[in-house]
């Protein structure tokens, strides 16, 4: 099963709202030039009120939406960049446990390249502890560029505290690089993973 982060319908709805707002502001400016003050105020208030209502609805939906947990074997796509956890191999050591997470990474694009460049990769346990990726030069890099429809298999290695019971691989808006670079209007896509207040999707590892 493939779970997708973004909603094309949500993106179109957002673009429609912002396009309508632009038209409303432009119409207000024209009315103001012709000294139609009362009509200017009505159009401007209506435009700003509609945009504000849309933003509030998006934030409420993001806040109230349940967190998505992707099971081992299922795929998760952030736009055109996709990943699936296929197998997990633990190796106990004296002070911690080494987890080798076999993943399949693939492109859902038809014409452009994609990659996870700039993404922070780590495991998260149910106590909120973060375990960073252990560098392994013998495997294919996690953020290797992918051609359209290309698929690769690689292994992610993590050193995890021995008392960790449930582990997850958090997702992020990889195709946009650093999450801070995501444009604000993308964060207002209705139903998108990138939304403000949206709970980050987690891939189950343990």
Residue 129 near residue 158, CB atoms below 8 Å: no
> What length is written for the chain?
206
Tokens coding 120: 């922070």
Question: What number of other Cβ atoms are within 10 A of residue 96's Cβ?
Answer: 16
Tokens coding 79: 């736009």
Q: Which of these, 103, 104, 130, lies nearest to 200 by C-alpha position? A: 130
Tell me the C-alpha distance between 127 and 125, whole Å.
5
User: What residues in the chain have per-residue pLDDT under 50?
Assistant: 173-180
171 contacts: CB under 8 Å, gap ≥ 6:
5, 76, 78, 83, 193, 200, 201, 202, 203
Residue 168 near residue 202, CB atoms below 8 Å: yes
Q: What is the pLDDT of residues 27-77, one digit of tens each?
A: 999 998 888 899 999 999 999 999 999 889 888 888 888 888 999 999 998
Tell me the C-alpha distance between 107 and 78, whole Å.
10
Tokens coding 89: 């191999």
Between CA 89 and CA 165, with CA 133 as vertex, the angle to 5 degrees is: 50
Strands 69-70 and 202-204: parallel
Tokens coding 65: 């939406």
| Residues facing residue 151 across a β-bridge | 106
For residue 182, the model assigns a pLDDT of: 60
Question: What number of other Cβ atoms are within 10 A of residue 162's Cβ?
Answer: 11
For residue 70, the model assigns a pLDDT of: 92
Tell me the C-alpha distance between 2 and 150, whole Å.
16
* Three-state secondary-structure class, residue 55: helix
For residue 172, the model assigns a pLDDT of: 63
């Amino acid at each position: 099963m493939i779970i997708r982060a973004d909603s094309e319908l949500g993106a179109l709805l957002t673009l429609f709202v912002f396009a309508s707002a632009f038209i409303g502001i432009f119409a207000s400016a024209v009315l103001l030039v012709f000294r139609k003050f009362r009509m200017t105020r009505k159009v401007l208030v209506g435009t700003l009120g509609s945009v504000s209502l849309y933003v509030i609805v998006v934030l409420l939906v993001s806040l109230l939406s349940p967190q998505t947990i992707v099971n081992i074997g299922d795929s998760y796509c952030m736009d055109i960049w996709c990943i699936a956890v296929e197998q997990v191999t633990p190796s106990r050591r004296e002070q911690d446990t080494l987890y080798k997470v076999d993943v399949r990474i693939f492109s859902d694009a038809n014409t452009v390249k994609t990659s996870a460049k700039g993404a922070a990769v780590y495991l998260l346990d149910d106590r909120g502890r973060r375990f960073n990726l252990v560098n392994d030069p013998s495997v294919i890099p996690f953020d290797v560029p992918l051609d359209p429809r290309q698929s690769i298999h690689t292994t992610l290695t993590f050193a995890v505290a021995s008392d960790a019971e449930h582990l997850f691989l958090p997702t992020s808006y990889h195709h946009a690089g650093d999450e801070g670079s995501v444009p604000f209007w993308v964060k207002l896509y209705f139903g998108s993973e990138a939304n403000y207040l949206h709970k980050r999707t987690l891939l189950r590892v343990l």
